[in-house]
Amino acid sequence: MLFEIERKFLVAHDGWRAAAVGGRLLRDGLVGPYHTSKVRVRLDGERAWLTVKGPRKGLGRLEFEYEIPSDDADEMLRSVCQGEQVEKIRHNVFHDGLKWEVDVYQGSLSGIVLAEVELQREDQPFSKPDWVGQEVSGDPRFKKAAMLKLRRQVGRPLTISGILSASP
Q: Which residues bind its own copies (CB under 8 A)?
A: 1, 31-32, 34-37, 39, 50, 52, 54-55, 62, 64, 66, 68-69, 71-72, 75-76, 79-80, 82
- State phi, psi for 137 to the nearest 5 degrees: -55, 130
Distance CA 16, CA 104 (A): 12
Closer to its own copies by CB, 3 or 126: give it. 3
DSSP state of 69: -
Closer to its own copies by CB, 31 or 166: give it. 31
Q: How far is the CB of 11 from its own copies (least distance, A)?
A: 31
Cα angle, residue 73 at apex, residues 120 and 60 outer, rounded to 5°: 20
Q: How far is the CB of 22 from its own copies (least distance, A)?
A: 26
Residues in the chain: 168
Closer to its own copies by CB, 81 or 104: give it. 81
Closer to its own copies by CB, 72 or 116: give it. 72
Q: How far is the CB of 68 from its own copies (least distance, A)?
A: 6
Closer to its own copies by CB, 7 or 61: give it. 61
DSSP state of 138: T
Q: How far is the CB of 148 from its own copies (least distance, A)?
A: 17
SS3 110: coil
Closest CA to 42 of 33, 30, 54, 32: 30
Distance of CA 143 to the CA centre of its chain: 8
Q: How far is the CB of 127 from its own copies (least distance, A)?
A: 33
Closest CA to 7 of 43, 61, 53, 51: 61
